[in-house]
Amino acid sequence: MARRAHRPRPKLAVWKFASCDGCQLSLLDCEDELLAIAEEVQVANFAEASSARMKGPYDLSLVEGSITTAHDAQRIQEVRRASRYLVTIGACATAGGIQALRNFGNTKEFASIVYATPEYISTLERSTPIATHVRVDFELRGCPINKAQLLEVVSALIDGRLPAISAHPVCVECKLRGTVCVMVARGVPCLGPITHAGCGAICPAYARGCYGCYGPSDAPNAASLMAEWTRGGATRGEIVRVLRTFNAAAEPFAAAAKTYEDDQG
Amino acid sequence: MKTIKVDYIARVEGEGALRIRFKGGAVRDVELRIFEPPRFFEAFLRGRSYLEAPDLTARICGICPVAYQMSACAAMEDAIGVEVEGGLRALRTLLYCGEWIESHALHMFLLHAPDFLHYPDATTMARDHREMVARGLRIKKAGNALVRAVGGREVHPINVRVGGFYRAPGRGELDALIPELTAARDDALIAADWMATFEFPEFSRDYELVAIRGEREYPFMGRRIVSNKGLDLDVREYDAAFAEAQVPHSNALHSMVKGRGSYLCGPMSRFSLNFDLLSDGAREAARRARIPVPCLNPYKSILVRAVEVIHALEEAIRIIRQYEPPAESCVETRARAGIGYGCTEAPRGLLYHRYSLDGDGLIRDAKIVPPTSQNQKTIEEDLFALAPRMVAAAHREATAMAEHAIRNYDPCISCATHFLDLTMEQD
């Protein structure tokens, strides 16, 4: 990243909503690039990394986490108003995250399971992605995001171009990596055919089926894949559970899971 | 009435707030508020398969996912009556070494060291101490390389399963890490000596230090929980010895030793209760840094973390040198009804999981106690003890003191269930 002398350093802000902090940690995990990034952009708000905070507007806001409280529903509006580009990072921000499992249950009951005095707890009935609340300029998928993709998104938006991020399924990454298909060759159930690429197809390279942490790919055929899982011996309960993890509220996964849940009778 | 208010505590994982109230110059109460939105893990785990617990609970914390995976596996294996020993256990320790190295390096260099040298963050600190920050980043990178090699990726590794791993790495994959780990150990030795020159506030309290007591090795995993005040129990007795209470001001539950009160887990406790089990290089670094055993000054936790990083690097190198890929990547597991208890040492301290399973291996009930909720009461008590120094100071300085005292614990508020908001009120 060559430093441009003719314009001020763009202001980068990182915001956290309901999440595990793992996606923003990916920025700090860029050990080789971190000091160079800090020279190229002004880190104007990044609570996990710095006590110094600058007022907006911000050129680029990275948003981690989902909306689960009334206060956060208001705060995301303020972040949007203060940001030129707003990019959501990770499954919580793009799909509601694992905490969206409450969307399929009863949140009051959930609170009473965890807390002796649930009245102290203030929370919304549903966990929703950022795009449900404000306009989002780009969504980066994954639980967690891939740090090379994060660097691509940050450099692209600072340079004013579209990020080069593909929406094909994980299967393409297995082929690129030269991994033999775990489902075809060994009968290991895999969500790769309907899951968004970006991780680099790690699981099949470790002899494990993809478990869908990057959420649905473009135009996924979940019905066909799940019919194959059923032929391989997967139970309805197993299929509902595998579709309901970190991207449970993403529409194609949610719809497919519902089909199997309804059939369970 | 005097009110001092800090809106946000930076450089901690998650979001929280702090309020200190004074009456007539005396401190009335201290509230460390955690407003990280609740995510209800223990509720939605009900009905999930025992095999899913490691991947699901990893999502409680992106900083220490390996700890969640290890404690979940320990508890599930206890429930179904399986033991993971030998080469597979060594591989688990190796993965855990990687997490301690990267998590401790993150905290020491990027979050905590700037407090001692009065910088807002590590990148600003790097203007004056670039070489040291670069060392810290190299150490962190080596830890991440280890997690990636064994676990598949740095955040939320994919290779851990109940019973062991999906695939055991080959010798070549691990041998390739030796030069980076060795260089990181040399960086850590230099960094430990540098950090020993920091100015440490005079402060100590009579803490009850709680940690796993290692059988033969400095504890990453284990079943025996001990304290410097006479606790000595098996993990199955955890619920009889410790209690969690909900307080109105926080979304995190407070832990206490029943009949006694607050306690402290994490690096200072492990170090103080297992000093004899540290690697030679780590013990020598501790002596050079003049860390007392037991260590009761929380500001010196940064030195203890440095010692643990040296230990984890030396342990990782030892494990890799002796590594023979196990014949099977995991032991066979079969669902059965039962209750399982597991605890391991997350970078921030003891992480307890308990699950009750039905005959199909589906979770009927889950209990998870992360280290930060165990330490929360102790952090409040430290702040209570420091409050007279804070009230005498200007607001800006008082805020820095409070934040520094909190960061001594590397609190992972995401785990506990957010960032600090300091309000000081004088009636």
Question: What pLDDT is stored for residue B1 in this prediction?
Answer: 37
**Interface mutation vs chain A, best among B153, B253, B348, most A CBs within 10 Å:** B153
8 Å CB contact of B40 and A111:
yes
B38 DSSP assignment: P
Query: Hey, are the CB atoms on B122 and A20 less than 8 Å from each other?
Result: no
Closest CA to A10 of A85, A75, A87: A85
Q: Is the ipTM of this complex over 0.90?
A: yes
Q: Chain B closest CA to A213's CA: distance in Å?
A: 10
The pLDDT value given to residue A120: 65
Q: How far does the CA of residue B257 sit from the closest CA of chain A (Å)?
A: 19
Q: For tokens 């992106």, what's the residue?
A: B62
Q: By CA distance, what is A242's nearest residue in B?
A: B52
- Please check whether residue A31 touches B, CB under 8 A: yes
Confidence at residue B45, expressed as pLDDT on a 0 to 100 scale:
95
**CB spacing of A21 vs B120 below 8 angstroms:** no
Residue that the structure tokens 């509006």 belong to: A77
- pLDDT 10s digits, B74-89: 999 999 999 999 999 9
Do residue B60 and residue A21 have CB atoms under 8 angstroms apart?
no
User: Do residue B49 and residue A241 have CB atoms under 8 angstroms apart?
Assistant: yes
* A:B CB pairs within 8 Å: 187
Per-residue pLDDT at A1? 45
Residue B110 to residue B63: CA distance in whole angstroms: 13
Low-confidence ranges of chain B (pLDDT < 50): 1-7, 416-422, 424, 427
Residue A52: per-residue pLDDT: 80
Q: Can you tell me the distance from the alpha carbon of B377 to that of B254, in angstroms, rounded to the nearest whole number? A: 6
CA-based nearest distance A188→chain B, Å = 12
| Contact criterion met (CB < 8 Å) for B46 and A113 | yes
Q: Is A138 on the interface with B (CB under 8 A)?
A: no
The long-range contacts involving B175-178, CB below 8 angstroms and separated by at least 24 positions, are B175/B320, B176/B149, B177/B142, B177/B145, B177/B146, B177/B149, B177/B316, B177/B320, B178/B317, B178/B320, B178/B321
Determine the residue of chain B that is closest to A109 in CA distance: B43
Tens-digit pLDDT profile for chain A (265 aa)?
A: 444 456 689 999 999 999 999 999 999 898 888 888 888 899 888 887 887 888 989 999 999 999 999 999 999 999 999 999 999 999 999 999 999 999 998 888 887 877 766 766 678 889 999 999 999 999 999 999 999 999 999 999 888 899 999 889 999 999 999 999 999 999 999 999 999 999 999 999 999 999 999 999 999 999 999 999 999 999 999 999 999 999 999 999 999 999 998 875 4
At residue A233, the pLDDT reads 95
Residue ranges of A 231-250 with Cβ closer than 8 A to chain B: 238, 241, 245-246
CA end-to-end distance (rounded Å), chain A? 57
Contact B166 A208 (CB under 8 A): yes
Best of A12, A16, A20, A119 to substitute, by most chain B Cβ atoms within 10 angstroms, is A20
Dist. CA B397–CA B390, nearest whole Å:
8
State the burial class of residue B284 (Cβ atoms within 10 Å of its Cβ: 0-12, 13-18, 19+).
middle
Inter-chain CB proximity B419 and A47 less than 8 Å: yes
In this prediction, residue A145 carries a pLDDT of 98
pLDDT, residue B203, reads 95
Residue A222 sits at the chain B interface (C-beta within 8 Å): no
Give the closest-approach CA distance of A103 to chain B in angstroms.
10
Could you tell me the pTM of the whole model?
0.94
